[in-house]
A and B are shown apart, each in its own frame.
Chain A
Amino acid sequence: MIYPKLPRIQFGAERAPSMWIDEAIWGHRLYDEQTPWLTFLELLSILLSETKQGRGFKEVNGYNTLSYSPQRLLHVRNIVFNNPKMKKIMSEQTSEDGRWQTWLAEIDKGKAGVEIGFASIRKSFNSFEEFAWVIELLRSSSIEGTSNKRFTSKFLFPFGPDCLYEDLHEKQFTNDRRFFARTGELAYLMLCRSGHGDEILKRLQPIVFDRTKPLNQLVKTLRVKEDSSREPHEHAFLPYADLPDYEALAYDWIALLTCGMPGYDVLPHVVTILGLHMLLYFLKRGREHADGSSEMQLVCEIIAPKKTVVRELSIESYQMNNLYSTDAIKQYIQNFTESDEWKNILSAGDRSRKAAEFIKEKFSWEPENLSEPEVMLRSLKENARNRHAQHIGKIHSNWARPLGLVSRRGTKALRYAPTDSFLKSLVFTVVKNRMEFQMFLQELYMRYGFVIGRHQAEATSLIGSRKGDLQAFKENAQRLEMRLVSLGLLKRLSDACAYVINPYTSK
Chain B
Amino acid sequence: MNNAWIKFFRKYGPIPQNDNMYDEAIRRAVRRHNIQQVKFEAPYLESLIKNFILPDPASIILTGTAGDGKTFLCREIWEYYGGSPAVWNNDSKIKQVSLKNGRPLTVIKDLSELKEDEKTILKEMANSLTKNDGSIFLIAANDGQLMEAWTTLGDSEEITAVKSAIEDALVLGRKQCGDFKLLLFNLSKYESNKLLARIIEGVCNHEGWQECNECPNAVTEAGRSCPIWLNLLLLKDPIFQKRLQNLLLLCDYSNLHMPIRQLLILIANAILGHPDTKDQLMKCEDIPTLIESGNAWLGNIYSNIFGSNLKLRRLPEIFETLRGFGIGEETSNYIDDMIILGAENPVSRQRDYFMRFIASDDNYGANDVFLLSQSAYLEGENEEQEQVFLKALSMQRQRLFFVATEESINDLSLWNLSVFHYAGEYISEVISQIKADRRISKAIIDRLVCGLNRIFTGMLTKTTKELWLATSGNYSQARVNKMVEGQISVMPRREESIEIKKNDNGMVELVVNMDRGIAASLPLHLVRYEFLSRVAEGALPSSFSRECYEDILSFKSQVLAKYREIPSPKPSDIVVHFLSLDERSHLVEYPIYVRSGEEAL
- Interface contact A265-B475, CB-CB below 8 Å: yes
A273-316 with Cβ < 8 A to chain B: none
- Interface contact A263-B554, CB-CB below 8 Å: no
Cα–Cα, bound, A141→B472 (Å) = 7
Closest chain A residue to B146, Cβ basis: A497
Closest chain A residue to B141, Cβ basis: A496
Give every chain A residue within 8 A of B473 (Cβ-Cβ).
Answer: 137-138, 140-141, 157, 159, 215
Q: A134 in the interface, Cβ–Cβ < 8 Å?
A: yes
Q: B576 in the interface, Cβ–Cβ < 8 Å?
A: yes
Give every chain A residue within 8 A of B551 (Cβ-Cβ).
Answer: 488
- Interface contact A495-B474, CB-CB below 8 Å: no
B523-575 with Cβ < 8 A to chain A: 546-547, 550-551, 554, 557-558, 560-561, 563-564, 570, 574-575
Stretch from B8-16, B203-211, B592-600 at the A interface: B592-600
Q: A320 in the interface, Cβ–Cβ < 8 Å?
A: no
Cα–Cα, bound, A140→B550 (Å) = 22
B189 → chain A closest CB, angstroms: 10
Cα–Cα, bound, A130→B170 (Å) = 54
Q: A6 in the interface, Cβ–Cβ < 8 Å?
A: no
Chain A at the B interface: SS class: mixed
Cα–Cα, bound, A157→B575 (Å) = 18
- Interface contact B594-A265, CB-CB below 8 Å: no
- Interface contact A265-B171, CB-CB below 8 Å: no
Interface string of A472-505 (1 = CB under 8 A from B): 0000000000000011100101111101000110
- Interface contact A221-B170, CB-CB below 8 Å: no
A126-B592, A263-B471, A434-B171 as given contacts; A497 in contact with B576, CB under 8 Å: no
Give the residue of A141, A221, A263 whose beta carbon is less than 8 angstroms from that of B574.
A221
Give every chain B residue within 8 A of A123 (Cβ-Cβ).
Answer: 595, 597
Q: B87 in the interface, Cβ–Cβ < 8 Å?
A: no
Q: A217 in the interface, Cβ–Cβ < 8 Å?
A: yes
Give every chain A residue within 8 A of B594 (Cβ-Cβ).
Answer: 124-125, 134, 217-218, 221
Closest chain A residue to B144, Cβ basis: A496
- Interface contact A495-B557, CB-CB below 8 Å: no
Give the residue of A159, A434, A494 whose beta carbon is less than 8 angstroms from that of B474.
A159
Q: B441 in the interface, Cβ–Cβ < 8 Å?
A: no
Q: B4 in the interface, Cβ–Cβ < 8 Å?
A: no
Interface string of A235-277 (1 = CB under 8 A from B): 0000000000000000000000000111111011000000000
Give every chain B residue within 8 A of A218 (Cβ-Cβ).
Answer: 574, 576, 594
Cα–Cα, bound, A130→B550 (Å) = 32
Q: A105 in the interface, Cβ–Cβ < 8 Å?
A: no
Give every chain A residue within 8 A of B482 (Cβ-Cβ).
Answer: 137
Give every chain B residue within 8 A of A268 (Cβ-Cβ).
Answer: 475
- Interface contact A225-B574, CB-CB below 8 Å: no
Q: A212 in the interface, Cβ–Cβ < 8 Å?
A: yes
Q: B145 in the interface, Cβ–Cβ < 8 Å?
A: yes
Give every chain B residue within 8 A of A88 (Cβ-Cβ).
Answer: none
- Interface contact A212-B597, CB-CB below 8 Å: no
Give every chain A residue within 8 A of B576 (Cβ-Cβ).
Answer: 134, 137, 214-215, 218
Give every chain A residue within 8 A of B574 (Cβ-Cβ).
Answer: 214, 217-218, 221
Give every chain B residue within 8 A of A212 (Cβ-Cβ).
Answer: 570
- Interface contact A495-B147, CB-CB below 8 Å: no
Cα–Cα, bound, A137→B580 (Å) = 14
Give every chain A residue within 8 A of B570 (Cβ-Cβ).
Answer: 212
Give every chain A residue within 8 A of B147 (Cβ-Cβ).
Answer: 436, 497
- Interface contact B561-A504, CB-CB below 8 Å: yes
With an 8 Å Cβ cutoff, the count of chain A residues facing the other chain is: 48
Q: A462 in the interface, Cβ–Cβ < 8 Å?
A: no
Q: B476 in the interface, Cβ–Cβ < 8 Å?
A: yes
- Interface contact B142-A494, CB-CB below 8 Å: yes
Interface string of A186-225 (1 = CB under 8 A from B): 0000000000000000000000000010110110110111
A474 → chain B closest CB, angstroms: 14
Q: B86 in the interface, Cβ–Cβ < 8 Å?
A: no
Cα–Cα, bound, A261→B471 (Å) = 13
Interface string of B144-174 (1 = CB under 8 A from A): 1111000100000000000000000011100
A236 → chain B closest CB, angstroms: 27
A491 → chain B closest CB, angstroms: 7
- Interface contact A504-B547, CB-CB below 8 Å: no
Give the residue of B143, B597, B600 whose beta carbon is less than 8 angstroms from that of A494.
B143
Cα–Cα, bound, A488→B564 (Å) = 23
Q: A507 in the interface, Cβ–Cβ < 8 Å?
A: yes
Interface-centre pick from B476, B547, B594 (highest chain A CB count, 10 A): B594
Cα–Cα, bound, A381→B329 (Å) = 68
Q: B357 in the interface, Cβ–Cβ < 8 Å?
A: no
Q: A173 in the interface, Cβ–Cβ < 8 Å?
A: no
- Interface contact A495-B66, CB-CB below 8 Å: yes
Give every chain A residue within 8 A of B170 (Cβ-Cβ).
Answer: 493, 497
- Interface contact A265-B599, CB-CB below 8 Å: no
Cα–Cα, bound, A204→B89 (Å) = 64
Give every chain B residue within 8 A of A225 (Cβ-Cβ).
Answer: 599-601
- Interface contact A224-B599, CB-CB below 8 Å: yes
Q: A133 in the interface, Cβ–Cβ < 8 Å?
A: yes
Q: A120 in the interface, Cβ–Cβ < 8 Å?
A: yes
Interface string of B569-593 (1 = CB under 8 A from A): 0100011101000000000000011
B260 → chain A closest CB, angstroms: 14
Give every chain B residue within 8 A of A496 (Cβ-Cβ).
Answer: 65-66, 142-145
Give every chain B residue within 8 A of A157 (Cβ-Cβ).
Answer: 473-474
Interface-centre pick from B474, B570, B601 (highest chain A CB count, 10 A): B474
Give every chain B residue within 8 A of A223 (Cβ-Cβ).
Answer: 597, 601
- Interface contact A124-B564, CB-CB below 8 Å: no
Q: B273 in the interface, Cβ–Cβ < 8 Å?
A: no
A341 → chain B closest CB, angstroms: 53
Give every chain B residue within 8 A of A263 (Cβ-Cβ).
Answer: 471, 474, 476, 560, 564
- Interface contact A503-B554, CB-CB below 8 Å: yes
- Interface contact B475-A130, CB-CB below 8 Å: no
Q: B188 in the interface, Cβ–Cβ < 8 Å?
A: yes
Cα–Cα, bound, A493→B594 (Å) = 52
Closest chain A residue to B476, Cβ basis: A265
- Interface contact A265-B143, CB-CB below 8 Å: no
Cα–Cα, bound, A499→B594 (Å) = 48
- Interface contact B557-A261, CB-CB below 8 Å: yes
Cα–Cα, bound, A130→B578 (Å) = 10
Give every chain A residue within 8 A of B472 (Cβ-Cβ).
Answer: 140-141
Interface-centre pick from A124, A212, A223 (highest chain B CB count, 10 A): A124
Cα–Cα, bound, A507→B595 (Å) = 42
Closest chain B residue to A487, Cβ basis: B550
- Interface contact A494-B65, CB-CB below 8 Å: yes
Give every chain A residue within 8 A of B171 (Cβ-Cβ).
Answer: 434, 491, 493, 499
Cα–Cα, bound, A30→B314 (Å) = 52
Give every chain A residue within 8 A of B578 (Cβ-Cβ).
Answer: 133, 137
- Interface contact B592-A507, CB-CB below 8 Å: no
Give every chain A residue within 8 A of B223 (Cβ-Cβ).
Answer: none
List, sorted by A's number, 20 A–B pairs whose CB atoms are closer than 8 Å. A123-B595, A133-B578, A141-B474, A214-B574, A215-B474, A221-B596, A261-B557, A263-B474, A263-B476, A264-B475, A268-B475, A487-B550, A488-B550, A488-B551, A493-B170, A494-B142, A494-B143, A495-B66, A496-B143, A497-B144
The 10 lowest CB-CB distance pairs between A and B, nearest first, are A496-B144, A497-B144, A262-B560, A497-B143, A494-B65, A262-B561, A157-B474, A486-B547, A217-B574, A141-B473
- A residues neighboring B (CB under 8 Å): 120, 123-126, 130, 133-134, 137-138, 140-141, 157, 159, 162, 212, 214-215, 217-218, 220-221, 223-225, 260-265, 267-268, 434, 436, 486-488, 491, 493-497, 499, 503-504, 507
With A268-B475, A497-B146, A507-B172 known, 17 other A-B pairs at CB within 8 A are A123-B597, A124-B597, A125-B592, A130-B592, A133-B592, A134-B594, A137-B473, A141-B475, A214-B576, A218-B574, A223-B601, A224-B597, A225-B600, A262-B563, A263-B471, A436-B147, A503-B558
